[in-house]
Amino acid sequence: MTPAVSVSELTKRYGEIEAVRGINFEVAAGETFGFLGPNGAGKSTTIKILCTLADPTSGSARVAGHDVVKERDTVRRNIGLVFQDTTLDNYLTGEQNLRFHADLYGVPKAAFAPRLRQVLEMVGLWDRRGSVVATYSGGMQRRLEIARGLLHAPRVLFLDEPTVGLDPQTRVSIWAYINELKKREDITIFLTTHYMDEAENCDRIAIIDHGRIVAMDTPEALKASIGKDRVQISTADDQAAIRSLADDFGLDSGLHEGLVTFSVESGEHFVPKLFGSMPVPIRSVSVSRPSLDDVFMSYTGKTIRDAEASIGDRNRRIATRFGRR
């Protein structure tokens, strides 16, 4: 069977900046493939190339068996796109947005009406099809985009952070639709996300950092490969704690989500030792088994939430750190 996506020695350069530095991977038909990485790691650039929105500098990529440069239109007919920022026309109704899409993609006129009903029912928007999109909630808009992305029956659906900015309840319902979709349609899903629980839904995950793929496997295999527990402590003086961990235990630690974070072989045995030798008072301790977040951190040096944090968040965190001194 032809792979849904196959990428070989792909590079992309923007002037001096090398955004993607020779990546290789394949996504099998029917697979749900997670593509993770910190901001600026080359994730968006890779997706742009796969969606034919940017040309590679060198190397090649095939989607649904077609070359993204030489057979651009064939690739476009076979992919559905849901981007993190909305691409709907707010002044049109839900149905008008989908009709626009059907005409752009040349969906046969006879197939349009039944297909429209099917995709809108799948995302629970059939009753709201006549309302102007501006009156939809954020979650409804995202669902409409998913319905639109499916309208022309693509073989590969690209979901670029499909739930970013949505509340947890809406995220759960969007995932219920995506899982339903996997059951119903013979489709490959190519997903990027900053939410760990969403990445767990993937059959396989690739992590990209500094333009290179640094890890690629099933979520289970990736977690097993880390093998270490994650310990997070909150102390009276985090900087002193970090120094102590380095000097007394030879451990590399960092401040993540406001907590001193590090990995050790066996967390529950390590923590008692920590209380004995830490020069600053410890306020709280948590030990966790390896999660995808740890996998992400061990390969990129960042937690996945850090990777998502906006510049505003980052500044606030720096400010708090300085304030404490």
Partner 1 sequence: MATKDLAAQDVLSDDLTEMIRVAVPERSVRHDLRAASIVWRRELIRFRTDRLRAITSLVQPVLFLFVLGTGLSRLASRGLPAGVDFKTFIYPGVLAMSVLFTSIFSAASIVWDREFGFLREMLVAPIRRWAIVVGKCLGGATVATIQGIIFLALAGVANVPYNPVLLLTLVGELLLLSFTLTAFGVMMAARIKQIQAFMALTQLFVLPLFFLSGALYPLNGLPAWLTVLTRIDPLSYIVDPMRHAVFDHLKVNPVALNSLSPGITWDGWQVPVALSVALVAVMGLAMLAIAIAEFRKTE
Q: What residues does 217 pair with on adjacent strands? A: 205
The b/e string for 94-125 (b: 16+ C-beta within 10 A; e otherwise) is bbebbbebbeeeebeeeebeebbeebbebbeb
Cβ contact 101:148 at 8 Å: yes
The size of the interface with partner 1 (CB under 8 A), counted in residues, is: 54
d(C-alpha 9, C-alpha 195), whole Å: 28
5, 7, 193, 272, 313 from 222: Cα distances, Å: 21, 21, 17, 28, 29
Interface residue with partner 1, options 31, 160, 185, 294 (CB under 8 A): 185
Q: Check residue 66 for interaction with partner 1 (CB under 8 A).
A: no
Span interacting with partner 1, options 74-82, 203-211, 226-234, 242-250, rule CB under 8 A: 74-82
Which amino acid, 60?
S
Cβ contact 97:148 at 8 Å: yes
Interface residue with partner 1, options 124, 251, 270, 301 (CB under 8 A): 124
Interface residue with partner 1, options 9, 17, 24, 55 (CB under 8 A): 55
Residues between 269 and 298 that touch partner 1 (CB under 8 A): none
Q: Check residue 175 for interaction with partner 1 (CB under 8 A).
A: no
Q: Check residue 105 for interaction with partner 1 (CB under 8 A).
A: yes
CB of 118 to partner 1, least distance (A): 5
Using a 10 angstrom Cβ sphere, with 0-12 exposed, 13-18 middle and 19 or more buried, the burial of residue 325 is exposed
Using a 10 angstrom Cβ sphere, with 0-12 exposed, 13-18 middle and 19 or more buried, the burial of residue 319 is exposed
Span interacting with partner 1, options 118-126, 242-250, 254-262, 309-317, rule CB under 8 A: 118-126
Q: Check residue 91 for interaction with partner 1 (CB under 8 A).
A: yes
Residues 6+ apart with CB under 8 A from 226: 263, 290, 294, 295, 298
Interface residue with partner 1, options 15, 16, 106, 250 (CB under 8 A): 106
Span interacting with partner 1, options 58-66, 181-189, 196-204, 220-228, rule CB under 8 A: 181-189
Q: In the complex, which residues of this chain contact partner 1 (CB under 8 A)?
A: 48, 51-55, 72-74, 76-77, 81, 83, 85-92, 96, 99-101, 103-108, 111, 114-115, 118, 121-122, 124, 132, 137, 139, 151-153, 169-170, 172-173, 176-177, 180, 184-186
